[in-house]
Chains A and B, each alone.
Chain A
């Protein structure tokens, strides 16, 4: 079966510090990968998605970047965190094969607080 891992589960960082959140998927190959952010009391916002190694699409202009150095690894980064980067960050994966209606499956998320 497929599993998705995110770490850390919670993180407290000072303003201006760097960030690296990691997501890995097991049990499948060549998945589509996604990073979402959920601000307190709001819906999820898609930040980035990737259809393959080194291929990143950004959905919104922001202070963050994403990379996919390996097939099942997706990394969310920032050089200098802002207060507005606080939120609940979720990684998701979906199958690529077949029709494009494959559902996405989410990890347990990282709760990021910026002080």
Chain B
């Protein structure tokens, strides 16, 4: 499995961009990078995923380096409701065809006034 490394915690001022880094130096060529977040006591929420190109949706942008060894999740205008644990995950295809997501401990993002 390709492992990911994230900072344990980060702070961000409300209204500013939150940039969450992730290292995945052992990623294979066909493995996607996924980002999820988990607000306390809730199930993880899917944010975005990508393979090589940068991606953007209504929630966030994902910037993947050219060598694919790291990526950054960008929340352009963080709000208090974005306070959560953010997980960077590299997918591993399960033996039976199911997609296996290996969750680490993630980054606790605190958005403050």
Contacts and interface: CB of A to CB of B under 8 A. Distances in A.
B100 A59 contact: yes
A107 B104 contact: no
Q: How large is the interface on A (under 10, 10 to 19, 20 to 34, 35 or more residues)?
A: 20 to 34
Contacts of B98: 32, 34, 49-51, 57
B46 A105 contact: yes
Name the residue among A42, A104, A108 with the largest chain B CB count within 10 angstroms. Answer: A104
B49 interface: yes
Contacts of B45: 106
A101 interface: yes
A103 interface: yes
Contacts of B96: 49, 51, 55, 57
Given A43-B104, A44-B44, A109-B42, A101 B94 contact: no
Nearest to A102: B99
A100 B97 contact: yes
B101 interface: yes
Given A90-B44, A106-B45, A109-B43, A101 B102 contact: no
A90 B43 contact: yes
Name the prevailing secondary structure of the A interface residues.
strand
Interface in A59-115: 59, 90, 92, 94, 96, 100-109, 111
Nearest to A56: B96
A19 interface: no
Contact of A103 (B49, B94, B97): B49
Contacts of B43: 90, 92, 106-109
Given A100-B93, A103-B49, A46 B102 contact: yes
11 contacts: A38-B103, A44-B101, A44-B103, A57-B98, A101-B49, A102-B99, A104-B46, A105-B46, A108-B42, A109-B41, A109-B42
Instruction: Pick the 10 closest A-B CB pairs, nearest first.
Output: A106-B43, A49-B98, A44-B103, A43-B103, A57-B96, A103-B46, A101-B32, A106-B44, A43-B104, A51-B97
